[in-house]
Copies of this chain bind each other. A is one copy, B any other.
Amino acid sequence: MLTYDLKKSPGVPLYEALYRCIRSDILSGKLTPGQKLPSKRALAANLEVSKITVEAAYNQLISEGYICAKEKVGYFVEQIEGFPKAPAPRSAPVEPSQTENTVDLTAGGSVQFPFSVWSRLQRGVMLDLGESLLRPLPNQGHPGLRRAIAEHLRAFRGMDVSPENILIGAGTDFLYNLLIQLLGRELVYAVEEPGYGKIRQIYAAGGARCVDAPMDELGVMPHKLGQAQVLHISPSHHFPTGLVTPPARRLELLNWAASGNRWIIEDDYDSEFRFTSHPVSTMQSMDRRGRVIYMNTFSKTLAPSIRISYMVLPPALMAQFREKLGFYSCTVPSFEQHTLERFLTEGHFEKHINRMRKAYKNKRNRLVELLKNSPIADRITILEQDAGLHFLLRIRTELDDGALTARWAQAGIRIRALSEYYHGTTPPQDERCLVMDYSGLTEEDFSRLETALKEL
C-alpha cells in the first residue's frame, strides 16, 4: 500500500501533496506502467485522509495522463512512451478509459476516420498555400470553407444558405457562448427535457436563465414553453430519445417563434447519419421569417479533436453579429479550415459519411440481433426512428432504473437510463428505458455483449 507522510508539505492542499507524491513515484519508476493503485477508499484509510482528497489527487493524475481509471476495476499507472525516463513524453494522448471486460454503451466513438486522405490534403494545403496560411482570417471563418459548407448543406440537406451567413467556430461550446452574447443573456432559454445535459451547463455558465422544454411524442410542445424566448432543439434527431419532430409540429414551433420575435436554435448534430434517403427538411429551410439559427459540427462526423463547428444565422442576426461582436477573432486555425474545405469540395466527406452510415447501420443491426436472440428478448422493445447512433430499449422489469443499470454493470455493460437525462423535471415513473449508444462498439464488444446479455 502506498504510504506518504502528507504532513511534510505545509501550505500545499492535501490533495495536491498526495498528487505530487504519487506523480513523483511514477516519474521515478517506483510505480510502474500498468501497476494498479489502491482504491480511493483503501488509500484514504491508509493515509488517514478523506476519500475526497484521494479522489481529487487521482483526478489530477488522470487529467495529466499519469494514471487512468478503468470503470469498476480501479486505477492504473499509464503506459506512456518515455515513462519513466524523464519529463518529456512526446505524448500519446490519454486514452478514454475502458475496462478490459466492460462494454460501454454510453460513450460514442468515431470510426474509420479517413486518415490517409486527410494527411494528403494537409500536405497539399501546406505546399500550395504556404505563407498565406499565416494571415489573419475573416472572423466568420475562411470564405472557401464557408462556400464548401453552403454547398454541402445544399446537397445533403436541401438547404439554401449563403456563405456569408455562415460563422465558423472552434466547437459548438464556443458557438453557444457567442449566441448568448448575440441574442442576450437576459433572455430565457428553453432546452429539451429530457436532453443533453451539457447544453444546459453551457447556457448556465454563460449567465442565461435556462428552463425546461417538455416534450410529447412529436417533440417539444410550443404551448408549454412559458416565458422562453429562445428554444434550443434537435428536431431531426433528439438525444437521447431519437425522436424526429414531424413537419406539422415544426411549423407550430416556427409560428411560436415568429409570433413573439423569439429564436429557435436548431441543433442538427448528427443528421448525417440518417439511414434512409428522405430526411425531414430542416427548420432553417422552413423558416420564412428569419427566426432559426442552424448549428452543426464536424466533431461527430470526423473526430472530436478536429474542432470545427458552424452556424447559419438569419441575415439580420448576422448583421448584428458583425456590428456587436465583429471584434472577435476566428477561433479555428486557417490550416484546419483549408484542409476541411478540400475534404468537402473533393467529395471525401460524402464518401466518408456514406461509409460511416453503413458501419453504424451494421452495428445497429448486430446489436438489435443480439438483443433479439438474448434471454431478455421477450421483455424488451426497441424504440427508434430512422436516424442516429443510438436507440432506446424499453424493458419490462420490477427493478427501478438504479437497480437496473447496476445489474447491467455487474454483467459488464456500462449503460445509462433515460431518466438520467432529465435535469429539471421528474422523469416518468412508469417505464424503464435504457439509452443504447452503439457508435463506439468494437468487434470485441459484440462478443462480450453476447456473453453479458446471458448474465442479466
List the interface of chain A (C-beta within 8 A of B): 13, 16, 56, 59-60, 63-65, 80-83, 86-96, 110, 113, 115, 119, 122-124, 126-138, 140, 142-145, 147-148, 151, 163-164, 170-171, 173-174, 177, 181, 185, 198, 201-202, 205-207, 299, 302-307, 315-316, 319, 322, 324-325, 327-336, 338, 341-342, 345
Nearest-Cβ distance from residue A202 to partner chain B, whole angstroms:
7
Expressed in whole angstroms, the Cα–Cα distance for A330 and B93 within the complex equals 13
**Number of copies of this protein chain within its complex:** 2
A81-B123, A87-B147, A90-B345 given; A140·B170 CB < 8 A: no
A63-B140, A143-B64 given; A132·B89 CB < 8 A: yes
Contacts of A131 in B (CB 8 A): 63-65, 113, 115
The listed residue (B63, B128, B143, B299) touching A138 by CB distance below 8 A is B63
Q: Are B205 and A128 in contact (CB under 8 A)?
A: no
Contacts of A302 in B (CB 8 A): 134
Expressed in whole angstroms, the Cα–Cα distance for A276 and B169 within the complex equals 39
Contacts of A341 in B (CB 8 A): 90-91
**6 residue pairs, one from A and one from B, having the closest CB atoms:** A91-B144, A134-B303, A170-B331, A305-B334, A136-B304, A170-B170
Q: Are B127 and A88 in contact (CB under 8 A)?
A: no
Q: Are B336 and A333 in contact (CB under 8 A)?
A: yes
Expressed in whole angstroms, the Cα–Cα distance for A82 and B96 within the complex equals 37
Expressed in whole angstroms, the Cα–Cα distance for A136 and B131 within the complex equals 29
Q: Are B181 and A335 in contact (CB under 8 A)?
A: no
Contacts of A133 in B (CB 8 A): 93, 303, 305
Closest residue of chain B to A148 (Cβ to Cβ) is B88
Provide a sorted-by-A list of 30 A–B residue pairs whose CB atoms are within 8 angstroms: A63-B138, A63-B164, A81-B123, A82-B124, A88-B128, A88-B148, A91-B142, A91-B144, A91-B145, A91-B341, A92-B129, A94-B138, A113-B131, A113-B134, A122-B122, A122-B126, A133-B305, A134-B304, A135-B303, A135-B304, A136-B304, A171-B329, A173-B328, A174-B174, A201-B327, A202-B327, A205-B325, A205-B328, A306-B333, A332-B333
